[in-house]
A and B are shown apart, each in its own frame.
Chain A
Amino acid sequence: MKLLPQSFGAKLLALFMSAVGLTQFATWAFIREFNDTQARELINDELDRTTRNFARVTADRNSLLAAAAATAARDYAVKSLFAGEDDATLATALKSIRISSTAGLVTALSLEGKVRASTLAAAMSDAAYADLVRRAQASPEASARGYGLFGGELYSLVLAPVHAPDIIAWIAVGFRIDDAFARRLKEQTGIDLTFFDPAGRPVATTLAPAVVRDLAAMLPALHEEASSEEAGLAGTTALVRIRRLAAGGDRGGTLALQYSLEEKLAPAAIAQSRQLLVAVGGMIAAILLSLAFARGVTQPIVELVGHTRRITRGDYSIRNRSYRTDELGRLSEAFDQMSLGLSERDRVRDLLDKNVSPEVAAQLLRDGATLGGEEREVTILFADLRGFTTLSEHLPPRELLTLLNRYLDRMSAEIEHHGGVIDKFIGDAIMALFGAPVPQGDAARRAVSAALAMERALVGLNAELAAEGRPPLAIGVGVNTARVVAGNIGSQRRLNYSVIGDGVNVASRLQSLTRTPEYRTNVIVSAATLRAAQTPFPARPLGTVAVKGRAEPVEIFAIGS
């Protein structure tokens, strides 16, 4: 029972928690998902921008170099060297061009694509330019862009024609794609980038060596067509985009752009952690609120339970005194009314007990008060205080009543002790029933025993009275057993359980016969009672007596002294 209010609180708590928790978690998850998607989109946008920027920067730089180279090559002396066969002098002219154009590399090629001279020894390879020459030959501008890998260094190249005024030769100029170039690109876009040669070796990067190592190891698994792929690099998650440096066939190598997802999500992560904090705060508030509410509900219930127990024990004094106006307040009110009703009923029951015998009261409460009755064998006992009229003349009424009650109380106690039921007090007389309303197999024996006990009890009472200086009392008892009608007798408004019939008159007559001096006895019973008692009481036959309204005489016996 004690678990109930606790479990109500727990239920309420669970309800609040799950409502608040679910809402918060759903919001959190939604925002997280949104942030993640947003971050990826933003990163992809930035990667797009960087890819375009790289192409733009490379193209611009190549154009400038090509223009510078073309300017240098339009010098008549240089043109003559391109037209002639003096490769050694041509090589020195290329050096001048490289310096004036700020190129990283200048190479002179014949119209057929044979390398004649270069500022870089490693760049003296016809094959390295074959694709560029072929594309330049085919293009209207007679130029082409591409990449070259020379001695482990990656160069962005542009092949330009040497006019005299027809194209008589080619000049290739390029700049090295190194860490410095990578850093320049990063300054413009803020995105880390790494260039790999066709063999997958990093040649230029803005990244720390450990990250580059991871990226290089991952490179073969990455897809060029993907807008970006997630990759774990040196303990952080990054989105990586791979682009083949296309112009240059398989010589171009690879450009890898990466953007740290954590970095992009960092502001979102702060917002998320704050939201989590708010969520936790909300949960705590929800807990406190639900606890307070549960307490508000369970406290009166606990009180009511306590009150119920006290009412069970018969204590109706408690009032809930609730000032609530809600359902609980109404419950308290109803409870108080019930408590009041119960106490009222109990008082009625108490009064009933005092007015009727407990057995009758019990039967009344059980079966209800109904008119009607039944015929059954009942033993009726009549007891009368002898000489009461004389006594009433000598005593003041108050003392008289006290004495009478004292006497009746002793006698009643003996009757009840022997299972008899006080039917009624008639002045100083007592009428008691044995075997009604509850049937008793040994009702007659009990009645006789009760009569003897009453006689003895009076001796005790007389001793007390003597000590008080009062005169002794005397009684006469008559007992008869007969079939009578038992039931509630009276009007609709007022009922008494009692018995009626000839047998009742006989018992009353036997009681009055005890006044007959010749009989010398206080207790007279009928033969019917003695028969029904089945117990050999010391009985002295007194003969037969006629009873008024009865044809047959009654055989009577004196019992006791």
Chain B
Amino acid sequence: MNSKPFPAGLRRSFPSLLVLCLLGFVGGAPRLAGAILVEIKDGKGQPVADAVASLTPLDRTPVIKVPDEPAVIVQDNEEFSPVVTVVVVGGKVLIPNRDKVQHHVYSLSPAKRFDIPLYKGEMKEPVVFDRPGVVALGCNIHDWMAAYVVVLATPHFAKSAAAGNAQIGDLPPGRYRLEVWHQRITAPVVREVTVNSDPSTQVISVTLRELRQIRRAPETGGGAYR
């Protein structure tokens, strides 16, 4: 199912690839832009939300333009929101505290280690994510708080909606490495795809494990004996 369009597309891509190369060589951006709709489903065929699909060009070095405006992950009601944030390498993220209590945000992920000791309100400086990778954010006070910043070395990405669909548009034709990540994915899905002017759809099936984070305890009295 996944592989069927792949070899066909590959075969078809050789002449166009040549044309593209020539075009590129002649000078001038490709006028035709493609789009890929990635449909992400779990093992039971249910749509998977908050998955990140990214396309990394294989034929060229992607041009990354860091947005001026930082992304924002708010801390509200002792939870991060949104849970998944995608930025390009060098991307900035603000993590303001909207709660009355303090938080102590930290990351021990190799891609970005930092911690912001107990604070309230706005941050003075955004956190800059300068290396690609998945950065897991936690709070040292509230163990159940978790958020992810997916730092990508490509501008072509999308986060799946509730219906499991992630639309990546404005794609110059060419070969790409399609990667899909999810916070509960057992192993990242990597696939090579070819983009041409026609929109195409990639259906990705992912295997998710159970959520193994520390759960927020219900607001009751003492903990029951287990």
Residues of A within 8 A of B (CB): 63, 74, 76, 79-80, 82-83, 140-142, 161, 163-168
Contacts and interface: CB of A to CB of B under 8 A. Distances in A.
Contact of B143 (A63, A140, A163, A168): A163
Which of B137, B143, B212 is most buried by chain A, counting CB atoms within 10 A of its CB? B212
B145 interface: yes
Interface of A is mostly: mixed
Given A79-B108, A83-B108, A165 B115 contact: no
Interface in B203-226: 210, 212-214, 226
13 contacts: A74-B143, A76-B115, A80-B108, A83-B109, A163-B143, A164-B106, A164-B109, A164-B138, A165-B137, A165-B144, A165-B146, A166-B183, A166-B212
Given A140-B212, A161-B212, A163-B214, A168 B226 contact: no
Contacts of A76: 104, 106, 115, 140
A266 B210 CA distance: 56
Contacts of A167: 212
Contacts of B115: 76
Contact of B212 (A63, A80, A142): A142
Contacts of B145: 165
Nearest to A136: B212
A28 to B, nearest CB: 51
B153 interface: no
B116 to A, nearest CB: 12
Contacts of A164: 106, 108-109, 136, 138
Nearest to A166: B136
Contacts of A168: 108
Interface string B102-118: 00101011000101000
B136 A165 contact: yes
Contacts of B108: 79-80, 82-83, 164, 168
A365 B174 CA distance: 158
A166 B139 CA distance: 12
A83 B139 CA distance: 15
Nearest to B147: A165
A165 B113 contact: no
Interface residues of B, number: 21
Nearest to A137: B209
A338 B115 CA distance: 133
Contact of B146 (A79, A80, A142, A166): A166
Contacts of B143: 74, 163, 165
A79 B109 CA distance: 11
Interface of B: 104, 106, 108-109, 113, 115, 136-140, 143-146, 183, 210, 212-214, 226
B104 to A, nearest CB: 8
Contacts of A163: 138, 143, 213-214
A165 B138 contact: yes
Contacts of B144: 165
A79 B138 CA distance: 11
A63 B143 CA distance: 19
Contacts of B140: 76
Contacts of A142: 212
Given A164-B106, A165-B136, 18 more contacts: A79-B108, A82-B108, A83-B108, A140-B210, A140-B212, A141-B212, A142-B212, A161-B212, A163-B143, A164-B108, A164-B109, A165-B137, A165-B138, A165-B143, A165-B144, A165-B214, A166-B146, A168-B108
Q: Which 3 residue pairs are nearest across A and B when measured between Cβ atoms?
A: A83-B108, A165-B138, A165-B146
Nearest to B226: A63
A161 B143 CA distance: 13
A448 B104 CA distance: 172
Which of A63, A141, A166 is most buried by chain B, counting CB atoms within 10 A of its CB? A166
Contacts of A161: 212
A165 B140 CA distance: 9
Which of A79, A165, A166 is most buried by chain B, counting CB atoms within 10 A of its CB? A165
A221 B144 CA distance: 52
Contacts of B139: 165
